[in-house]
Amino acid sequence: MEKGQAESEARDLRQSVHVVCRTEELPPGERKIVEIGGRTIGVLNVGGEYFAVRNTCPHQGGPLCRGSVGGTMLPSAPQEWIFGLEGRVIRCPWHGWEFELESGRSLFDPERARVRVYPVTVEAGKVMLHA
């Protein structure tokens, strides 16, 4: 087992499960900001898919989960504009840093600038956050 994998599994074992709300209280397009153990985490329903993201932007601590969810311009040839990742990107409301909702990686420096993301499951009609 590699070191990174072992750390990831150890972190997963430390996570506990929290009930966020009933599914009908978090319809598509909505989000809830919850506080767990001193951390604020945004739980978002994007088109029926749930994501959970730490609500502290790694740039200057802005309320990341209050930002807009949308897409972004993809790398392309000069004079070519390709829009993509619709509904997969959250944009910090303070200075516009963008992060992939699923991985937490920033779009501009995915290896070094990232935000913590958490698993979300639905069990018995409840949205469950693993954090």
Cβ closest to ligand FES, residue 28 vs residue 96: 96
Min dist CB 85 to ligand FES, Å, is 18
Copy the structure tokens of residue 99.
Answer: 């992060």
**Per CB under 6 A, which region of 33-41, 71-79, 90-98, 113-121 contacts ligand FES?**
90-98
| Total number of residues that touch ligand FES (CB under 6 A) | 10
Output 32 or 59, the one with its CB closest to ligand FES: 59
C-alpha dist (Å) from residue 36 to 16, 24, 41, 114, 122: 10, 21, 8, 20, 18
Nearest to 33 by CA among 8, 66, 57, 71: 66
Residue of 88, 89, 94 whose CA lies nearest to 62: 94
Binding-site member from 60, 68, 76, 103 for ligand FES (CB under 6 A): 60
Please tell me what DSSP assigns to residue 75.
P
Residue 24-53 contact track with ligand FES, rule CB under 6 A, x = bound: ------------------------------
> Using the rule CB under 6 A, is 95 a contact of ligand FES?
yes
Q: Considering the rule CB under 6 A, would residue 94 count as an interface residue with ligand FES?
A: yes
Q: With left for phi above 0 and alpha for psi between -120 and 50, is residue 117 left, alpha or beta?
A: beta
User: Cα angle vertex 92, ends 19, 103, to 5°?
Assistant: 60
Residues at the contact surface with ligand FES, assessed by CB under 6 A: 57, 59-62, 92, 94-97
